């Protein structure tokens, strides 16, 4: 459990924990709507980063001196906190990586070695490039086939078509839990049940879900779940691969080096036990410790209330933007969360984003690493406003006024 007291959800109190939100950009109070790209950091995390490098900096696992042992204890305590938060059975099932992309590449290489010609990998049309390219590379290496389940114009997976593509040839389904561009929440539990019935394993890309909803990998029954620290209020450069112990045990190491070994001779190397088998070299120690602090912060928040708040923000923003002539919301799934992407006929999203920036509003413009999705909608990109639990309806009011002002200047 968290060392912090669980309090009723209060967005104003939460905002006080995030120093970056209390600054001005071009003389305007910052409105940060780029949480899908990276989240801001609470004081608990920022203080922990400073404390580690100021007084506790030491390498871990192999030192006998006090600072090394203290750093090791805190690093492994962070792993255990993440294990408990995710509902994983063992801390050994939590592998520290560089981030979501690194986690997916680890599975694509290591689990991928068990695939061969005739096997298939199934993804969806709404995937981030990080959940497309590693599987393309795997298929090229192993001679397997990549299948893509289509979506409808609302941005929802067409389950009838997914069912047709899923077969006994499917060895892995890799699916985003929440689309970073559309906000669509995919029915991952249903997908996992269907895949398992045919003997397929499932990787869930949780880069956009871990920060928005309660996650329990045991209840979900996914085989792999991956996410990045920096999107869940922690530092950059570190992430997590959760994998079922029996699968990870069978998978060969992804990289070789220090700490992932049991014994090395010039003739033969034996590998370390989990989780260290997949953690070669000196890790991002401060990152791991501070990711643990980010989860401590999350444990102090009523996440069910936070999720309702974020969905209300998205609905509020969509209803207001929908009144603008020539503006199209991209991604209108019935089940979606706090992402609003839109395009405006005849105006490039970059131009809108630039004018919003001058008004102190941070949004993301472009293809959001989902170029095949942009091709599906026939657009070069979108303006994406992505919300966190520290955002407010008042900020959305200011944002909508700024969009209206920007469009009047560009038309």
Catalytic positions, written as ranges: 369
Q: Give the C-alpha separation, 353 to 355, whole Å.
A: 6
For the record, the structure tokens of 288 come out as: 């791991």
The answer to whether 402 and 25 are in contact (CB under 8 A) is no
**Residues with Cβ within 8 Å of residue 138, at least 6 apart in sequence:** 108, 109, 112, 115, 121, 144
Longest dimension (CA), the chain: 71
Q: Which of 355, 347, 358 is nearest to 325 (CA)?
A: 347
Taking the CA atoms of 287, 243, 249 and 253 in sequence, report the sign of the dihedral they define. Answer: negative
Size (the chain), residues: 411
Q: Give the C-alpha separation, 40 to 232, whole Å.
A: 9
At 410 the three-state DSSP class reads helix
Full DSSP string of 336-399: B-SEEEEEETTB-HHHHHHHHHHTTEE-EEE-TT-HHHHHHHT-S-EEEEE--TT--HHHHHHH
Quickly tell me which residue has 């006994």 as its tokens.
Answer: 168
Measure CA of the first residue to CA of the last residue in the chain; give whole Å: 53
H helix intervals, 31-179? 43-51, 66-86, 100-110, 133-142, 159-165
For the record, the structure tokens of 309 come out as: 């708040």
* DSSP symbol at 273: P
The answer to whether 47 and 21 are in contact (CB under 8 A) is no
CB under 8 A, 24+ apart: contacts of 53-59: 53/286, 57/285, 57/286, 59/282, 59/285
Neighbours of 51 (CB within 10 A): 15
Residue 379 phi, psi (nearest 5): -130, 155
């Amino acid at each position: 459990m968290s060392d912090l007291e669980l309090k009723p959800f209060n967005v104003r109190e939460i905002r006080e924990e995030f120093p970056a939100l209390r600054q001005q950009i071009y003389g305007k109070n910052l409105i940060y709507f780029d949480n899908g790209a990276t989240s801001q950091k609470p004081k608990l995390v920022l203080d922990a980063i400073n404390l580690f490098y100021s007084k506790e900096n030491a390498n871990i696992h192999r030192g006998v001196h006090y600072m090394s042992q203290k750093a090791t204890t805190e690093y492994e305590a962070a792993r255990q906190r993440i294990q408990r938060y995710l509902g994983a059975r063992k801390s050994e099932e939590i592998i520290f990586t560089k981030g979501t992309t690194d986690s997916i590449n680890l599975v694509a290489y290591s689990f991928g070695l068990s695939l061969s010609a005739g096997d298939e990998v199934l993804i969806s049309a709404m995937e981030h490039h990080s959940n497309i390219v590693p599987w393309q590379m795997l298929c090229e290496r192993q001679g397997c086939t990549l299948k893509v389940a289509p979506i409808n114009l609302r941005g929802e997976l067409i389950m009838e078509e997914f069912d047709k593509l899923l077969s006994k040839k499917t060895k892995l389904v890799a699916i985003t839990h929440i689309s970073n561009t559309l906000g669509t929440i995919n029915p991952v539990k249903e997908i996992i049940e269907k895949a398992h019935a045919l003997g397929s394993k499932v990787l869930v890309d949780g880069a956009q879900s871990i920060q928005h909803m309660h996650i329990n990998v045991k209840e979900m029954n996914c085989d792999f779940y991956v996410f990045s620290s920096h999107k869940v209020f922690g530092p950059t450069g570190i992430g997590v691969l959760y994998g079922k112990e029996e699968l990870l045990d069978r998978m060969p190491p992804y990289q070789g080096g220090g700490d992932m070994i049991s014994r090395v001779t010039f003739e033969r190397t034996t590998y370390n036990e989990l989780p260290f088998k997949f953690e070669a070299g000196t890790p991002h120690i401060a990152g791991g410790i501070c990711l643990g602090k980010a989860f401590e912060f999350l444990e102090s928040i009523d996440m069910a209330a936070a999720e309702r708040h974020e969905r209300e923000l998205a609905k509020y923003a969509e209803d207001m933007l929908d009144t603008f002539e020539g503006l199209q919301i991209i991604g209108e799934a019935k089940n979606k969360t706090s992402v609003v992407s839109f395009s405006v006929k005849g105006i490039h999203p970059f131009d809108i984003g630039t004018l919003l920036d001058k008004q102190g509003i941070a949004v993301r413009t472009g293809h959001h690493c989902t170029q095949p999705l942009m091709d599906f909608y026939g657009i070069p990109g979108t303006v994406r406003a992505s919300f966190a639990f520290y955002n407010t309806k008042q900020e959305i009011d200011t944002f909508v006024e700024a969009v209206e002002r920007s469009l009047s200047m560009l038309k």
